[in-house]
Amino acid sequence: MSEQAVISEVPGVFYRKPSPDEPVYVEEGQKVKAGETIGLIEVMKNFYEVTAPADGTVKAFKAEEGDVVDAGQEIAVIE
């Protein structure tokens, strides 16, 4: 199986949950479909969705809840 990086398209603050009291969008090891939301980037008072680029399994997250990320930074790996 090939690995594919999930890249943040915008700079901002990364979140794995839709809101602080809700569970994460996906756990590591969970299967996702292409286009499925796996996290959010807070930017300019708004939230920008981070989506899976392909069907597969989330192998690992490379950014933690609340991390500041740059545009182009790897956020997760999908296998």
Q: What is the SS3 assignment for 1?
A: coil
Question: What are the CA-CA distances from residue 52 to residues 8, 56, 74 (Å)?
Answer: 11, 9, 12
Helices (H), the chain: none
**Residue nearer to another protein on the CB measure, 34 or 71:** 71
* Tokens representing residue 13 in the block: 């603050």
Taking alpha carbons only, the member of 72, 77, 64 closest to residue 24 is: 64
CB of 1 to another protein, least distance (A): 26
Q: How far is the CB of 50 from another protein (least distance, A)?
A: 12
Enumerate binding residues for another protein (CB under 8 A).
7, 9-13, 42-45, 48, 68, 71-72
| Residue number, 18 or 57, with CB nearest to another protein | 18
Minimal distance in Å, beta carbon 43 to another protein?
A: 6
C-beta of 9 vs 36, nearer to another protein: 9
